[in-house]
Amino acid sequence: MQTEQYAPPPQHPLEPYVQAIWRVKANRSYTTETILPKGNVDLLFNFGDPLTSGDDQSSHNLIGAAGAYVAGLYTGAFTNRPQGEVWLLGVSLKVDTCTSILPLPLAELINQTIEARHVFADAPQWIEPLAESASFAQQCDLLSDWLVQRINPNPNAALVHQACLALRQCPTEARIAEQAQQLHLSTRHLRRLFYQHIGIGPAAYLQMVRFVQCLELMSTPSSLTQIAQEAHYFDQAHFCRDFKSIAGMTPQQYRAGVGHVPGHLFT
Question: What would the DSSP string read from start to end of 244-255?
Answer: HHHHSS-HHHHH
Q: Tell me the average pLDDT across 139-167.
A: 93
Amino acid 43: pLDDT: 96
Q: Which domains does the chain have, with CATH numbers?
A: 2-149 (2.60.120.10), 155-248 (1.10.10.60)
Residue 60 reports pLDDT greater than 70: no
Task: Please tell me the pTM assigned to this model.
Answer: 0.91
Count other Cβ atoms within 10 Å, centred on residue 132. Answer: 10
Q: Tell me the average pLDDT across 157-178.
A: 90
Percent of the chain scoring above 90 in pLDDT: 68
Percent of the chain scoring above 70 in pLDDT: 98
Amino acid 259: pLDDT: 78
Q: Which amino acid is at 233?
A: Y
Instruction: Indicate the pLDDT class of residue 232, thresholds 50, 70 and 90.
Output: confident
Amino acid 58: pLDDT: 53
Q: Which secondary-structure segment (H or E) carries 203?
A: helix 202-217
